[in-house]
């Protein structure tokens, strides 16, 4: 899977399930290199990115809002 992943959701239920799936995929990828944490960025009411980040310590997930 290539990162960052950009998600556009239609409702709260899909937001939760899609973000959970994306973060799970990112964790699996981060475990391989053990150098990156996970950064979830909210870009709007219905848009997010999930990415691996060297600015986030390995083993942590950080959430930020960009709007």
pLDDT in tens, 6-53: 999 999 999 999 999 999 999 999 999 999 999 999 999 999 999 999
Contact 67, 43 (CB under 8 A): yes
Q: Is the pLDDT of residue 64 over 90?
A: yes
Q: Which two tokens stand for residue 28?
A: 């699996």
What pLDDT shows up at residue 1?
Answer: 80
Residues belonging to the chain: 67
Taking 90 as the threshold, does the pLDDT of residue 4 lie above it?
yes
The domain segmentation of the chain, as residue ranges, is 5-65
- Identify whether the C-beta of residue 62 lies closer than 8 Å to the C-beta of residue 50: no
Q: What is the pTM of this model?
A: 0.93
User: How many other β-carbons are positioned within 10 Å of the β-carbon of residue 28?
Assistant: 10
């Amino acid at each position: 899977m290539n990162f960052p992943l950009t998600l556009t959701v239609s409702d709260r239920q899909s937001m939760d399930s899609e973000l959970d799936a994306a973060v799970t995929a990112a964790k699996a990828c981060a475990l391989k290199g053990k150098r990156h944490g996970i950064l979830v960025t909210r870009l709007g009411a219905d848009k997010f990115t999930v990415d691996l980040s060297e600015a986030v310590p390995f083993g942590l997930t950080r959430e930020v809002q960009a709007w």
